[in-house]
Amino acid sequence: MVRFVRILAVCGLILMVFTSLVIAVDGDAAVKKYPPGCTKACCAVKTNPECSLVEPACAKTCDRAIKSGCSKAAGFSCLPNKKKFESSAQLDKLIPGVFEFAGAQWTKAANENPDRTKYPCRTKSADKKAPQYDKWQFFNADHWTAGFAPGNLWYLYEITGDAKYADWAKEYMVGLEGQKDRKDTHDLGFVMMPSYGNGLRLTGNEAYKPTIVQTAKSLASRFNPAVGCTRSWEWGKYSSKNICPVVIDNMMNLEILFWAAKNGGGKNLYDVAVSHANQTIKEQVRDNGTTYHIVIYDPKTGDVIRKEARPGYATESCWSRGQSWAIYGYAMCYRETGDPNYLETAKKVADYWVANLPEDSVPFYDFDDPAIPNVNRDSSAAAVAACGLLELSTQVDSGELSKKYYDSAVKTLTTLCTKESDGGYLAQDAGGKATSPTVLKRAYKKGERGVNYADYYLLEGLLRYKCLSGS
């Protein structure tokens, strides 16, 4: 009898190894086998019992990824970082509930509209006369925020290991694939990095690479050598061929160029990204560390025609979301190039941000609106900036600066993760009932609106925090 049991045990082990090998061959199928932070065949059984392939050389890396709760959130990695950051007991207590709530909210979003060519992007009011933004507004794949829908789902897969999030993300990605050939928008990085970028990172599916590289090439086709930047908008009054508008938001779209340049897209993509970042410093970062939202160039001469603002209060004011794009964007550029000018710029815009935040560390939609404090906050700007500040905290040599950026990010994330009923921005009342379809509220200049990118950068910020704190 004992011998028979032993034979069964050996057969079971052989079957388990064979099954895992089959799964490892199919890159995308691996998403259903490996735990978050360790999605490739590099786990050791002793590290995590859910992994059935043994490659000891990878075990240490996998172990650290599992313990930290993340692997590489949107290019950011805690693994090479030698700095030590203290965890926050208050934030650590809030995070599990936020992750659970985010999972429930995005499960509802995925189930509300089974048409995966329609993307939940922001909330709207069911009744135009009512102040509540209580319904999802669905957009087509060509909307600049469409990629954040699968992006949220990929992060939830990374956090929970639940394959349903990966499955839904992949369903949404099918409709986004055609965006890779678009040459009429600068927002391609926003569309593809949260979706295809995270999909590649978490599944290792090489089939996603060509889509990302082609997208980067399409974005680079908008580069104007006379201006030194990729053109931004091409709609309404900005559609004229006699102007070349460039928005500060475009700093975020440089990451796909850097990535593609390292993955077969060609050095010219790197050069385009560097040129754009340099020109943006010259014309859009003010001496006091604030930023212009829009610069209108002459496309033939490269001369500046004028500067403008749209969601911000005024041309010379500091729109908070634009400032957050700059913090994140220049920290990312320093990561990708090592150019100290980008580090100094990131510090400059971050120093202004930290020094001018209100008490709860969530900014008003614009730092200079004279009606403050009777204007709306922007939780999306807060989430983006928190991500950038966390990365910047690992890049500076000064321990004092590092702590300043890290502490500011942690305070912001703590406020964002606090229920609305308790003075925070998490869309929950005192009883835990959702007050919006999104995770965060007050994510825009107008009213109580929620947006999918606020949720996305909140999850990314929390993953980055967990990486650095080891919590």
Label residue 42 by pLDDT band (50, 70, 90).
very low
pLDDT at 235: 80
Last residue of a domain, one of 62, 90, 112: 62
Catalytic residue among 92, 162, 184, 187: 187
Lowest mean pLDDT among 27-41, 105-119, 206-220: 27-41
Rounded distance, CA 203 to CA 142, Å? 25
The tally of CA atoms less than 13 A away on the side-chain side of residue 18 is: 6
Mean pLDDT of 172-190: 95
Is residue 189 in some structural domain? no
Last residue of a domain, one of 33, 62, 91: 62
Longest Cα separation, the chain = 88
249 included as an active-site residue: yes
295: β partners: 246, 307
Question: What is the average pLDDT score of the chain?
Answer: 85
**For residue 20, is pLDDT > 70?**
no
How many domains does the structure of the chain reveal? Answer: 2
Is residue 430 in some structural domain? yes
End-to-end CA distance of the chain: 47
- Domain of 399, in residue numbers: 328-471
Is residue 55 in some structural domain? yes
Rounded distance, CA 153 to CA 167, Å? 9
Mean pLDDT of 2-27: 44
**For residue 453, is pLDDT > 80?**
yes
Is residue 139 in some structural domain? no
- Of 365, 452, 441, the residue nearest 131 (C-alpha): 441
pLDDT at 134: 83
407 included as an active-site residue: no
Could you tell me the CATH number of the domain that includes residue 433?
A: 1.50.10.10
What percentage of residues in the chain have a pLDDT greater than 90?
Answer: 74
Query: Kind and range of the H or E element at 246?
Result: strand 244-247
pLDDT at 17: 41
247: β partners: 294
pLDDT tens, 123-142?
987 666 666 678 899 999 99
Label residue 72 by pLDDT band (50, 70, 90).
low
- Of 105, 97, 169, the residue nearest 134 (C-alpha): 105
Is residue 282 in some structural domain? no
Is residue 72 in some structural domain? no
Mean pLDDT of 179-194: 95
pLDDT at 77: 58
**For residue 38, is pLDDT > 90?**
no
Label residue 111 by pLDDT band (50, 70, 90).
very high
Catalytic residue among 249, 366, 378, 455: 249
Is residue 268 in some structural domain? no
pLDDT tens, 236-253?
888 888 999 999 999 999
Token pair 């208050």 is found at 90
Which token pair is 56? Answer: 């000891």
Mean pLDDT of 405-426: 97
Query: Kind and range of the H or E element at 224?
Result: strand 223-224
- Of 161, 200, 165, the residue nearest 28 (C-alpha): 200
Is residue 142 in some structural domain? no
Tell me the DSSP string of 283-310: HHB-TTS-B-SEEEE-TTT--EEEEE-S
Last residue of a domain, one of 35, 62, 89: 62
Label residue 47 by pLDDT band (50, 70, 90).
very low
pLDDT at 125: 73
pLDDT tens, 286-332?
999 999 999 999 999 999 999 999 889 999 999 999 999 999 999 99
Token pair 């990605």 is found at 173
pTM: 0.85
pLDDT tens, 434-448?
999 999 998 876 667
Higher per-residue confidence, 49 vs 354 = 354
Using CB atoms within 10 Å of the CB of residue 72, give its burial: 0 to 12 exposed, 13 to 18 middle, 19+ buried.
middle
pLDDT at 124: 82
**For residue 369, is pLDDT > 80?**
yes
What percentage of residues in the chain have a pLDDT greater than 70?
Answer: 80
pLDDT at 51: 36
**For residue 395, is pLDDT > 90?**
yes
